[in-house]
């Protein structure tokens, strides 16, 4: 015993220090991975259900609002203007080997019913099955079309009774070389970051 009567603290064992380091490092890696791979909440969650050459069928959750679909279509527009590479949007090249680029022609239909994005339905639509074509185009909630350097997007069903629907609202139409309009960034939703 020391003259003052107190015990000297023992330093932590190297194994304990290593275990604490691994524990803290693991939580840091998990948090960092969750933060870096968080979903983009400025657009609705969507899935590309099927693709037939330049025609892409995507779906959003049932009940998605027109504003949410509009934000998704504007994101396609932004990608077209900035990188012209829809790979980051889960779309395979629509015109591979084309001198105009891998995505020179693209037509994206957005549905809120995953059944319409089934590869078999898309194949029947492409083949021109009259019953499928009519219902397919009536079920579209939004579309984005890029033809060479011309683009267009709209909300609403495309056709009703064989005619262009009055429900369709054109969001934008123009050239991809035109400057993008300056718009306020949408709310991103709840962040998982503690910062």
Domain residue limits, the chain: 12-41, 47-175
Question: Residue 108 is encoded by which pair of tokens?
Answer: 């994206």
Listed as ranges, residues in the chain with pLDDT below 50 are 161-162, 191-195
Alpha helices in 57-140 (DSSP H): 66-82, 119-127, 130-139
Burial (CB count <10 Å: 0-12, 13-18, 19+), residue 108 = buried
Q: Which helix (H) or strand (E) holds 28?
A: helix 14-36
Per-residue model confidence (pLDDT) at position 192: 47
Q: What is the pLDDT of residue 183?
A: 66
- Predicted TM-score (pTM) of the model is 0.71
Give Cα 32 distance to the centre of its chain.
Answer: 22
By DSSP bridging, strand 105-111 and strand 55-59 are: parallel
């Amino acid at each position: 015993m020391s003259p003052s009567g107190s015990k000297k603290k023992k330093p932590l064992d190297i194994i304990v220090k290593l275990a604490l380091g691994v524990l803290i490092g693991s939580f840091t890696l998990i948090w960092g991975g969750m933060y870096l791979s968080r979903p983009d909440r400025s657009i609705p969650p969507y899935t590309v259900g099927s693709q037939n050459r330049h025609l892409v069928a995507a779906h959003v959750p049932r009940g998605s609002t027109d504003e949410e679909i509009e934000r998704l279509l504007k994101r396609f527009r932004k990608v077209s203007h900035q990188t012209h590479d829809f790979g980051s949007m889960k779309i395979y090249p629509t015109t591979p080997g084309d001198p105009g680029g891998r995505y020179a022609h693209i037509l994206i239909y957005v549905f809120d019913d995953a059944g319409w994005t089934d590869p078999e339905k898309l194949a029947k639509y492409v083949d021109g099955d009259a019953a499928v074509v009519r219902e397919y185009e009536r079920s579209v909630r939004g579309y984005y079309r890029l033809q060479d350097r011309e683009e267009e997007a709209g909300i609403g069903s495309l056709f009703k009774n064989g005619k262009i629907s009055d429900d369709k609202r054109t969001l934008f139409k123009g050239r991809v070389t035109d400057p993008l309009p300056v718009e306020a960034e949408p709310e991103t939703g709840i962040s998982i970051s503690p910062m």
